[in-house]
């Protein structure tokens, strides 16, 4: 089910209403059924994959907790293999085959792979990673294995964040799901604000920018260099508004049930460096990779050359996590490379970014934004040829006029997004808004509500991160 659908606008109040009407001991059943329903609206049969992940990790965690020694590691590896295996099959099977064909043809050989028409289950990368974090934590002894299958299932299935994160840890979401939540006015109020704001940035900002960007990426060489450049910058805001919007709605839905989930974004385009960008963008994924890949590889404790390789590995795998294509790997690798360059630069010139805002910091923010925007090209382009076309199109036609695409609305909404980012710097929408006096707060609601109802995009765009 999409958050930005009429279906969901009926579904959510019903679930919230029933949740508070039911006694605590039955609430997990409601969350379980509603989450299954939420997921099954997409492709019903794929719920079976989720059930499989739940069963495997539920049993694996209990077993890991019970036993000692090498067998413990064996069960962990078995659980991880099952999770990664499912992900690999659904997401990377055809990609692997395509690469094998290329490798074979390089040596003049022919390879005829079995091509399966597999549809990637929505959000598979998210729930496998979430579930894996639980088994790893149990293995490390930091988390007790959950005995209640229902609660564990809800941890993997919890509908607000099941298809596009945030990727939660069991110690937070698991406990939140078990806690007794009373119907508090503040939760309703904050939840409503977050859902409203999330819908606003998805439907008004992202969906009004999307047609412009899609048009240019369809055939970049048809447009002027100016339009191509604008589409590169606009895509940065489109994907941000799209994903931040989703995460904010997720946060709001959970809040309506009294459940707190993590903030996935902290105004990432106000980052002064690429490394800071990654501490502000898709935080739940960055911390997942930090805790379960970067640190096990040695983290900061290794020598510079090894550390550099580790950073590149982490970013390339993070790229591959996003999509089964080399363009994503390059996207990740470029981020890794930029992060390394920044680190080398600061070591070489003993340069440190100061926290206080200054002209230099503004320059650094703009620099970081421009770098990430250009790297997004590899994320957005379906192929290297398309990415190449985008770069070629940047210089091929330098006449600004006549403009072929109407840029006014996308630019207005982007400006609005920038204003919101400045307004929300290091804080969350609901808490920021709570500092306003009532008339100003309601004036704000009125404007957002009007934009949402009267100015939202009218084309169908699903959330970009659903594909991962």
Partner 1 sequence: MFKKIVIKISTLILILIGLNFVYNFTLYKKDLYEKSEQFIEIKNEQATTDIFYFAESSNFNVRENDSIMNSISEITNFFFPSLKLTAINKPAAHAGIFKAWLKSIDVKKNKAKAVIITLNMRSFDAAWRHSVLETQLQESVVLVQPYPNLVNRFLLSLQAFDNKTDEQRNKEMLDDWENVKLEFPFDFKYKTVREWDVSFGQYGWDLPDGSPEKNKILLTCHYVKAYAFNLNEKNPRIKDFDEIAEWCNKNNINLYLNLLAENIEYADSLVGKELVFLMKQNRDYLVKRYNKGNCKVIDNLELVNGLEFTDQTWTTEHYGYRGRMIIARNVANTLKDQFSKEYIKAY
Residues designated as active site: 322
Residue 89 burial (10 A CB sphere; 0-12, 13-18, 19+): middle
93 binds partner 1 (CB under 8 A): no
Taking CB under 8 A as the binding criterion, the range among 75-83, 184-192, 235-243, 316-324 that sits at the site for partner 1 is 184-192
Site for partner 1 in 23-42 (CB under 8 A): none
Query: How many residues does this entry show for the chain?
Result: 468
**Residue whose C-alpha is closest to residue 286's, from 305, 268, 259:** 268
Which CB, 20 or 292, lies closer to partner 1?
Answer: 20
Contact, 162 vs 245, CB < 8 A?
Answer: no
Q: Rule CB under 8 A: say whether 185 interacts with partner 1.
A: yes
- Residue 9 interacts with partner 1 (CB under 8 A)? yes
- Binding of partner 1 by 117 (CB under 8 A): no
Site membership for partner 1, residue 150 (CB under 8 A): no
Q: Select the span of 31-39, 59-67, 179-187, 311-319 touching partner 1 (CB under 8 A).
A: 179-187
393 contacts: CB under 8 Å, gap ≥ 6: 220, 221, 223, 225, 228
Q: Which of 207, 242, 276, 389 binds partner 1 (CB under 8 A)?
A: 207
Under rule CB under 8 A, residue 452 binds partner 1: yes
Interface pick for partner 1 out of 442, 463, 467, 468 (rule CB under 8 A)? 442
Smaller CB distance to partner 1: residue 434 or 446? 446
- 460 in contact with partner 1 (CB under 8 A): yes
Residue 40 structure tokens: 């099954």
Residue with tokens 């707190």: 260
Alpha-carbon torsion (213, 214, 220, 224), positive or negative: negative
Q: Which of 234, 202, 189, 108 is nearest to 457 (CA)?
A: 202
* Helical spans, DSSP H, in 203-265: 207-218, 225-256
Shortest CB 208 distance to partner 1, Å: 10
Nearest CB to partner 1, comparing residues 360 and 449: 449
Our finding on whether 456 is near partner 1 (CB under 8 A) is: yes
Q: Give the burial class of 269: count Cβ atoms within 10 A of its Cβ; 0-12 exposed, 13-18 middle, 19 or more buried.
A: buried
Q: Which stretch binds partner 1 (CB under 8 A): 287-295, 301-309, 393-401, 438-446?
A: 438-446
* Least distance CB 15 / partner 1 (angstroms): 17
Stretch of 37-45, 140-148, 416-424, 455-463 contacting partner 1, by CB under 8 A: 455-463
CB within 8 Å of 353: residues ≥ 6 apart = 272, 273, 276, 361, 364
Cα distances (Å, whole numbers) of residue 465 to 116, 122, 320, 322: 23, 9, 14, 8
Nearer to partner 1, 347 or 447 (CB): 447
Report the interface residues with partner 1, using CB under 8 A. Answer: 4-6, 9, 183-185, 188-189, 203, 207, 442, 445-446, 449-450, 452-458, 460
């Amino acid at each position: 089910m999409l958050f930005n659908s009429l279906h969901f606008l009926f579904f959510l109040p019903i679930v919230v209403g029933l949740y508070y009407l039911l006694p605590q001991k039955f609430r997990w059943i409601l969350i379980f059924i509603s989450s299954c329903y939420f997921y099954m609206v997409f492709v019903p049969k794929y719920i079976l994959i989720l059930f499989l992940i739940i069963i495997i990790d539920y049993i694996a965690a209990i077993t890991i907790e019970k036993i000692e020694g090498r067998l413990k590691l064996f069960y962990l590896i078995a659980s991880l293999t099952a999770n990664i295996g499912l992900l690999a099959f659904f997401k990377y099977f055809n990609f692997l085959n395509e690469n094998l064909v290329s490798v074979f043809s390089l040596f003049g050989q022919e390879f005829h792979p079995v091509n399966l028409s597999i549809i990637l289950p929505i959000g598979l990368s998210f729930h496998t990673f979430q579930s894996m974090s639980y088994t790893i934590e149990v293995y490390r002894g930091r988390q007790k294995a959950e005995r209640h299958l229902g609660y564990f299932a809800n941890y993997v299935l919890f509908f607000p964040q099941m298809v596009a994160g945030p990727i939660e840890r069991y110690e937070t979401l698991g406990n939140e799901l078990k806690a007794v939540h009373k119907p508090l006015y503040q939760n309703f109020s904050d939840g409503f604000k977050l859902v409203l704001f999330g819908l606003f940035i998805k439907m008004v900002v992202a969906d009004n920018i999307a047609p412009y960007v899609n048009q240019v990426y369809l055939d970049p060489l048809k447009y002027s260099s100016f339009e191509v450049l604008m589409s590169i910058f606009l895509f940065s805001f489109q994907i941000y508004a799209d994903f931040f919007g989703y995460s904010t709605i997720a946060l709001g839905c959970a809040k309506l049930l009294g459940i707190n989930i993590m903030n996935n974004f902290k105004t990432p385009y106000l980052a002064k460096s690429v490394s800071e960008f990654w501490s502000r963008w898709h935080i739940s994924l960055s911390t997942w990779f930090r805790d379960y890949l970067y640190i096990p590889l040695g983290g900061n404790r290794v020598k510079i050359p090894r550390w550099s390789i580790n950073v590149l590995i982490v970013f390339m795998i993070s790229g591959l996590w996003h999509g089964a294509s080399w363009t994503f790997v390059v996207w990740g690798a470029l981020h890794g490379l930029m992060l390394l360059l920044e680190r080398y630069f600061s070591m070489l010139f003993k340069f440190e970014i100061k926290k206080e805002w200054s002209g230099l910091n503004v320059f650094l923010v703009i620099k970081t934004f421009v770098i990430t925007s250009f790297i997004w090209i590899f994320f957005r382009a379906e192929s290297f040829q398309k990415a190449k076309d985008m770069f070629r199109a940047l210089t091929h036609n330098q006449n600004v006029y006549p403009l072929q695409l109407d840029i006014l609305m996308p630019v207005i909404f982007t400006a609005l997004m920038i204003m919101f980012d400045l307004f929300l710097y290091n804080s969350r929408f609901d808490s920021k808004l709570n500092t306003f006096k009532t008339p100003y707060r309601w004036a704000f609601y009125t404007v957002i509500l009007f934009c949402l109802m009267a100015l939202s995009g009218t084309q169908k765009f699903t959330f970009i991160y659903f594909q991962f």
